[in-house]
Amino acid sequence: MSSLVSTLKDNLQLLSPLTLLIALGVGVALLYNRRAAPWGRRWLLAMLVGYFALSTPVGSWLFAAPLTHGQRALRAPADARGAQAVVVLSGDFVSRGTGDLVIDDLRSTALRVIEGVRVYRLLGDPLLVVSGGDLRRFDPPRPAAAAMRNAAIGLGVPPERIATEVQSLTTREQALFLSRLLADRHIGRLVLVTSAVHMPRSLAVFRASGLDPVPSASDLAEDLDLSLSTLVPNRDSLNLSDAALYEYAALAYYRVRRWL
């Protein structure tokens, strides 16, 4: 199951060559069928317009808005409502290297770690929990949580104030494993740190697991400044659309499985 999730994340993306080839192939195949040729032209036009819209700041902002609306970073200790731990969930992560010479690339997870450390400082030395397993099946294993722990230590968090959860491969597994880890420490209320698009599903799964999370989104953009630049495609906007598309699909799957 985990290898399937990793494969889907890597290949069924708006930026993936496989996705582009499949989409173009469908359009071209329709064009070569006389009866279906009009639908082929419509398909290719829709693909062009869709990619353009989802790769612009305004298009990606509107696409992700149902997920990110209302998501904010924690600003005052009182907003944490007595939380005793800050939990940071892993996101995209890879390790690069040869043999024993390896450098961890936190990618989007870096923003989550930074936000987690900021909230840790804001709350005055609570327990910092970093969560994420070895989704990409490195050899030897390199769980995301280990790299997140190293990054947090580099940002000044004492090692003895960090707990790691290194087994989870999905958001639901993170909620299940962390509920046990926190229960062992008699902690029920926590500040949950993840990306704004990932937050709705994370909150729902954690609450379904009996936890009481207070959200603090790691990468929330400021209000969109509507100008000509918001109509210019860029990679960051397409990445946001990619993440939102994955979350919509994951939310639907989790609802079907009754995990929310």
Residues 172-184: tens digit of each pLDDT: 999 999 999 999 9
CA of residue 109 relative to chain centroid, distance: 8
pLDDT band per the 50, 70, 90 thresholds, residue 102: confident
pTM over 0.85: yes
The pLDDT of residue 221: 53
The pLDDT of residue 63: 95
pLDDT band per the 50, 70, 90 thresholds, residue 190: very high
Q: Which fold has domain 77-217?
A: Rossmann fold (3.40.50)
The pLDDT of residue 183: 95
| Domain boundaries for CATH 3.40.50.620 within the chain | 77-217
Cβ neighbours of 94 (radius 10 Å): 16
Residues 1-39: tens digit of each pLDDT: 545 555 556 666 777 788 888 889 999 999 999 899 999
